[in-house]
Amino acid sequence: MYQSKLFTKTRKEAPKDEVSKNAQLLIKAGFINKEMAGVYSFLPLGLRVLNKVNNVIRDEMNKLGGQEVFLTSLQEKANWEKTDRWSDEKVDIWFKTKLKNDTELGLAFTHEEALTALMKNHIRSYKDLPAYPYQIQTKFRNETRAKSGIMRCREFPMKDMYSFSKDTAEHEAFYEKSKAAYQNIFNRMGLGDKTYITFASGGTFSKYSHEFQTVSSAGEDLIYICDKCKIAVNKEIIQEQNKCPACSGENLREEKAVEVGNIFNLGTKFSDALDLTYLDEKGVPQKVIMGSYGIGPGRLMGTVVETLSDDNGLVWPVEISPFRVHLVQVGDKDDVKKAAENLYEELCKASIEVLFDDRDLRPGEKFADSDLLGLPLRIIVSEKTLMSSEYEVKERKTGKVSMVKEVDICDFVKKYK
């Protein structure tokens, strides 16, 4: 993409009412636009990042055997009444509306009820199990106070997977696999060393559920880390027992953290309420065992910004960066323009994603914008580099500068991680 053709522009300042670092930087860099409190639009660069986050999640869910669906946001009242989650007294984050015939509907904040009801059409026998449908879809939550930028919104994308299993053993085997898949996601996002599997209250089916918490000063949660086991417990659990659930150690370290994912054992709570059964090998009806597995892609994107950015701007991991390379043309002489254009075409032919800063701006302005945008590699084409027959390549994450010959440039970029 030519940067001169990109309709979004960088800004010197974020909106004065925006206090979270992730929203400030993403707005200044032109990745998102704030529509109102808790509601953000994703602009071209931001959407490229969000789509890449989704694709990492999608890849790991597919490896688990997940099958992607896309359910409706509009929810009918009846299914939610069966689980006692329709009443505003029981669930206080509903957005509700009415059809012209006065039928009341809700905008989904999650999809256990809807998908359980749907699966009644497809699960009849033990041969139909297990099943792992998931979606990446917009959710709506009527939060009293939206805050933390794109990490806590009233309208936001959510990946929610639901497992349907024949028995507890089959469910628990998948549940353990999902832990590993989630950790793979966070590793690929550059958050692996800061993200801990965190024990939380289990609710209806087991003693524990599990959150995935990323240590961050922007976090709203307190977690207690066992460095011996590399796991954590949340504040609720530490009040119950002041020790690690895995090794019973008591030397736990307190940190602020952002919840970037969670997994829950649901048991038969929803299959009981909505009568989801299957016939076992003997033809006897059995209730389906369920689990729920959530990640907020926008929240995850915001956490990457909070955790990895620096004083100069965004710092994107290679796998989710909107472009791998920021090609910066310095100078307006014909030979510089021609060399930059030739390199742009060479990188594109090598299937390398490039944002080409061909704008008529001073070098300092271009470099400041480049730091703010945070692409992994910056390649400079200037009179100086033409004289040396090498390109100056700067790593955004480390600041390391390498001089790379033209013949080697595509291999250098492709190998960079």
Q: Which residue has the tokens 């809700």?
A: 106
Query: Which of 308, 342, 371 is the last residue before a domain boundary?
Result: 308
Q: Would 317 be classed as within a structural domain?
A: no
Instruction: Please check whether residue 96 is in contact with residue 134, taking contact to mean a CB–CB distance below 8 angstroms.
Output: no
Q: Is residue 219, in this structure, part of any structural domain at all?
A: yes
Residue 144 is predicted with a pLDDT of 87
List the CATH number of the domain containing 112: 3.30.930.10
Amino acid at 155: E
Q: What is the CB-side half-sphere exposure of residue 288 using CA atoms within 13 A? A: 30
Question: What percent of the chain is helix, strand and coil (3-state, nearest 5)?
Answer: 35, 30, 35
Same domain for 189 and 259, yes or no, is yes
In a domain, 313, yes or no: no
Q: What is the mean pLDDT of the chain?
A: 95
Please give the pLDDT value at position 239: 86
- Same domain (yes/no): 106, 143: yes
299 shares its domain with 371 = no
Residue 260 lies in a domain: yes
Tokens matching residue 28 = 């200044």
Output b/e per residue, 68-81; b: 16+ Cβ within 10 A. eeeeebebbeebbe
How many domains does the structure of the chain reveal?
A: 2
Query: 155 and 40: one domain?
Result: yes
Q: What is the pLDDT of residues 43-91, one digit of tens each?
A: 999 999 999 999 999 999 999 999 999 999 999 999 999 999 999 999 9
For residues 88 and 168, membership in a common domain is answered with yes
The mean pLDDT value for 157-161 works out to: 98
Per-residue pLDDT tens over the stretch 136-158: 999 999 988 888 999 999 999 99
Asked whether residue 3 is assigned to any structural domain, the reply reads no
Boundary residue ending a domain (308, 331, 352) = 308
For residue 144, which amino acid is it?
T
CATH classification of the domain holding 333: 3.40.50.800
Same domain, residue pair 304 and 327: no
- Note down the domain range covering 398: 323-415
Q: Are residues 410 and 270 in the same domain?
A: no
Structural domain contains residue 350: yes
Q: How confident is the model at residue 242 (pLDDT cuts 50, 70, 90)?
A: confident
Inside any domain, residue 315 = no
The backbone torsions φ and ψ at residue 213, rounded to the nearest 5 degrees and listed phi first, read -115, 130
Same domain, 267 and 140: yes
pLDDT digits (tens, 9 = 90+) for 379-411: 999 999 999 889 999 999 999 999 999 999 999
CB 119 within 8 A of CB 164: yes
Specify if 173 maps to a domain.
Answer: yes
Same domain, residue pair 267 and 406: no
Domain termination residue (choose one: 256, 281, 308)? 308
Residues 219 and 257 in one domain: yes
Output the CA–CA distances (angstroms, integers) from residue 301 to 40, 46, 260, in the order listed. Answer: 13, 9, 10
